[in-house]
Amino acid sequence: LNCFTLDSFRFLIKGGLAGAAVYVAYDQGLLGSGKEGAEAFRKAQETLPPAIQEWTNYLGWEVRAAQLPPPPKFDFSVSNSWNKGVHSVMSALSVAPTRACEYTVEGWKYVKDLVK
User: How do the pLDDT tens digits run along the chain, 116 residues long?
Assistant: 456 677 788 888 888 888 888 887 777 766 777 777 777 777 777 777 777 777 777 777 665 555 666 666 766 666 677 778 888 888 888 888 888 888 899 999 999 998 87
Domain encompassing residue 86: 78-115
Tally of domains in the chain: 1
Residue 111 lies in a domain: yes
| Cβ atoms of 31 and 78 closer than 8 Å | no
Residue 109 lies in a domain: yes
Residue 91 lies in a domain: yes
Residue 60 lies in a domain: no
Residue 32 lies in a domain: no
Residue 103 lies in a domain: yes
Residue 96 lies in a domain: yes
The CA-atom distances, in angstroms, between 44 and each of 5, 25, 33, 72, 86 are 38, 12, 17, 12, 26
Rounded to whole angstroms, the Cα distance separating 2 from 8 reads: 10
Read off the pTM: 0.33
3-state secondary structure of 1: coil
Give me the DSSP letters along 18-82: HHHHHHHHHHTTTTS-HHHHHHHHHHHHHHHHHHHHHHHHHHT----TTTSPPPPP----HHHHH
Residue 57 lies in a domain: no
